[in-house]
Chains A and B, each alone.
Chain A
Amino acid sequence: MSRYTPPEQSKAGQVFDIAVVVVAIFVALWLPLKLGLAGAAKSIDALDAKTWEALGQNPTMASIWEKLGYTPETAHDIIQNRFHYVIDWPTLVIMAAVLIGYFVFLFRASDREYRDVINEKFDDK
């Protein structure tokens, strides 16, 4: 197999590629934050009666909250801010498909590239 000689990349091309990578990073990491898609999916189950008992705190727990500087009113939004684990099947299927598709593509495309590497490396000898 003849040895593959890659093209030399111009400075402008390098700058463009760097810009592509930077944009991709910010879109992937910043956009979910901007759109409010990142972070925990929690919501507050509000209670009318804001007492330690109503918040499910025993005397030991209540004393620690108070030591930390909280009252039942200020602790309410922390204690009642809960996850609600309802499995959203369509989203789960999408997630699984994206993940499996990603890994299948990754291994198959890598294998094609790897054959180039092995052929060039070992056919030279």
Chain B
Amino acid sequence: MTVTLEPAIHGDRVSLLRVLGPAHVWALGVGIVLVGEFTGWNFAADKGGALAALIVCWVVGLLYTSVAMIDSEVTSTVAAAGGQYAQAKHIVGPLMAFNVALFLVFAYTMLEVSDAILLGDTIVAKAGVEGLTHNSFIAATIVVLAWLNYRGVLMTLNVNFVITAIAYISIVILFFSVSPWTQGAVLKLNELVTPGNALPYGWIGVIAAFQFGIWYYLGIEGTTQAAEEVRSPARSLPYGTMAGMITLLIAAAMTWYVCASMMPWEYLGITYYPLWDAGKLTGSPLLENLLFVATLLAALASANGCINDAARAWFSLGRDRYLPTWFSAVHPRYRTPYRSILFLLPIALAFAFIADLNQAITFSILSGVLQYTFMSINIIMFRKKWPLGSIRRGYTHPFHPIPAIVLFSLCVVTFFAIFLGFGSQLIAMVAFYFLISLWFHFYRYKFVRRGDQFTMPWPKPQGY
């Protein structure tokens, strides 16, 4: 999520105040992502078994560590709002920037949809009233959060920080409440994950599980959306993003250990609320209610951040004339990209009603993986066009090009994982991006002001 802090208006341009530090960057990233521990990651167990969910937790953690390293270098140098969108504009070109913004919009909008479905289903399950459906809760969540974003989100940053912290602490409390150092009392890992069922589909199940392994961390790259608002991008972005990754790796490991030790993998793979179920299975009403509330808070924090980030990316497309300039309007009083917020609202609502949770998650994951593929190539091009020493970098990530190669390789594996079970959805999504790219390149691009797309005070890129 990104917070608009009393922006100064220059014509129809918004400039943001630099008031955020590393802790805020941490909160931005973890706030969006933490809901992944409360639902979604566990579908990896469905695709490959409980052990596969653990393996992908760590391997996909490596993917995201590469993302965080690469992103920290590029964003601390291209310190402009829009994150990867601004990077693509300066390093690859307008069409790539257009696509990257769409990746961001769909990854975040579908994540918002998933959050709203989770919230609605959790409330319905808790209420246990026959005939009660999740529709009204989903609609209320999306509309109220859109309204908050419409009105401005200055206060929301601190609120989100608090509710994210509560949700995170609930995982830690659950972990220590089940005596993780002993087996047999509450946790029964040896009896639930046996040599016979640890990898029910074999190693192809592990590869297939990559798809939902992404959900452990999807959205951490959203920290770069705040690039124009942090006081010291060179320091805050790497520290905040890497601290967020460490936090999430710890949370993911604790979540897997508790859940895999308390539920058969077949149930773990299909439940919408694994942590809440774990709370219930402890037999403690306190833990059950704590995890129920934490699930709702994590979903709210994530959805709120997603609305803000998706609207910001859509707004940027309008501001740069990649889409009709109508979207680039800033609310005269609240200083928010209100038309973009309102435009995306019915889209989110529509998909919340017609898609189920794992479909919405898959849409989001697909856009995320397309974006990570771009990032792995982008960093190679960045180093080639502006070698080290040619421009001032806020942060230089080590071991280049190993993180880029690791990231690209893991993206290829993840595409294959999505193909295993969700192939048609993948082809439909990529066909959409292909067609909309043709539309942009052969028609819409004529409305774009060429030279205005490059705003960094850098020398001419090598090779041009």
When distances are taken between beta carbons in the complex, the residues of chain A under 8 Å from B430 are: 95, 98-99, 102
Chain A contacts with B in 1-37, Cβ cutoff 8 A: 3-4, 6-7, 9, 13-15, 17-18, 20-22, 24-33, 37
When distances are taken between beta carbons in the complex, the residues of chain B under 8 Å from A121 are: 450-451, 453-454
Known contacts A38-B362, A78-B266; A28/B191 CB under 8 A: no
Answer whether residue B460 sits at the interface, using C-beta atoms and an 8 A cutoff: yes
Q: Can you list, as one digit per residue, whether each of B25-63 has a CB less than 8 Å from chain A (1) or not (0)?
A: 000000000000000000000110000000000000000
Residue of A6, A61, A116 near B447 (CB, 8 A) is: A6
Q: What's the least CB distance linking A93 to chain B, in Å?
A: 11
Chain B contacts with A in 425-459, Cβ cutoff 8 A: 425-437, 439, 441, 444-451, 453-454
Size of interface on A: residues with Cβ below 8 Å to B: 74
Q: Which chain A residue lies CB-closest to B429? A: A28
For the complex, what is the distance from the CA of A26 to the CA of B203, rounded to whole Å?
Answer: 36
A103–B373 touching, CB < 8 Å: yes
B464–A95 touching, CB < 8 Å: no
A18–B324 touching, CB < 8 Å: yes
Q: Which chain B residue lies CB-closest to A8? A: B447
For the complex, what is the distance from the CA of A61 to the CA of B270, rounded to whole Å?
Answer: 15
B262–A102 touching, CB < 8 Å: no
When distances are taken between beta carbons in the complex, the residues of chain B under 8 Å from A115 are: 464
A102–B351 touching, CB < 8 Å: no
B321–A6 touching, CB < 8 Å: yes
A85–B420 touching, CB < 8 Å: yes
Answer whether residue A54 sits at the interface, using C-beta atoms and an 8 A cutoff: no
B454–A118 touching, CB < 8 Å: yes
Q: What's the least CB distance linking B450 to chain A, in Å?
A: 4
When distances are taken between beta carbons in the complex, the residues of chain B under 8 Å from A25 are: 347, 432
Size of interface on B: residues with Cβ below 8 Å to A: 82
For the complex, what is the distance from the CA of A29 to the CA of B359, rounded to whole Å?
Answer: 10
Answer whether residue B422 sits at the interface, using C-beta atoms and an 8 A cutoff: yes
Residue of A7, A20, A110 near B94 (CB, 8 A) is: A110
A65–B267 touching, CB < 8 Å: yes
Most chain A beta-carbon contacts within 10 A, residue among B266, B277, B362, B423: B266
Q: Can you list, as one digit per residue, whether each of A91-125 has a CB less than 8 Å from chain B (1) or not (0)?
A: 11011001101110111011111111111111010
A83–B420 touching, CB < 8 Å: yes
A40–B324 touching, CB < 8 Å: no
When distances are taken between beta carbons in the complex, the residues of chain A under 8 Å from B46 are: 40, 83
Residue of A29, A39, A64 near B264 (CB, 8 A) is: A64
Known contacts A7-B447, A40-B421; A83/B355 CB under 8 A: no
When distances are taken between beta carbons in the complex, the residues of chain B under 8 Å from A65 are: 264, 267
When distances are taken between beta carbons in the complex, the residues of chain A under 8 Å from B192 are: 60-61, 64
Known contacts A4-B450, A9-B325, A102-B434; A95/B96 CB under 8 A: no
Chain B contacts with A in 188-241, Cβ cutoff 8 A: 188, 191-192, 194, 196-197, 201, 204-205, 208
Q: What's the least CB distance linking B434 to chain A, in Å?
A: 5
Main secondary structure of the interface of B (DSSP, over half): helix
When distances are taken between beta carbons in the complex, the residues of chain A under 8 Å from B99 are: 106
Residue of B351, B377, B428 near A31 (CB, 8 A) is: B428
Q: Can you list, as one digit per residue, whether each of A61-80 has a CB less than 8 Å from chain B (1) or not (0)?
A: 10011011010000100110
A60–B432 touching, CB < 8 Å: no
B427–A95 touching, CB < 8 Å: yes
Q: What's the least CB distance linking A35 to chain B, in Å?
A: 8
Known contacts A24-B432, A110-B93, A114-B92; A32/B373 CB under 8 A: no
Contacts A83-B46, A91-B423, A121-B453 aside, 15 further interface pairs with beta carbons under 8 A come to A3-B451, A17-B444, A28-B429, A38-B424, A39-B359, A42-B421, A65-B264, A88-B423, A95-B426, A109-B95, A110-B97, A111-B92, A117-B93, A117-B94, A117-B453
For the complex, what is the distance from the CA of A81 to the CA of B43, rounded to whole Å?
Answer: 13
When distances are taken between beta carbons in the complex, the residues of chain A under 8 Å from B176 are: none
A118–B460 touching, CB < 8 Å: yes
For the complex, what is the distance from the CA of A109 to the CA of B202, rounded to whole Å?
Answer: 41
Most chain B beta-carbon contacts within 10 A, residue among A27, A31, A40, A107: A40
Closest 8 CB pairs of A and B: A28-B432, A110-B93, A114-B93, A14-B324, A120-B451, A37-B424, A60-B191, A110-B96
Known contacts A60-B192, A110-B95, A122-B460; A117/B447 CB under 8 A: no
Q: Which chain B residue lies CB-closest to A115? A: B464
B436–A24 touching, CB < 8 Å: yes
Answer whether residue B281 sits at the interface, using C-beta atoms and an 8 A cutoff: yes
Q: Which chain A residue lies CB-closest to B451? A: A120
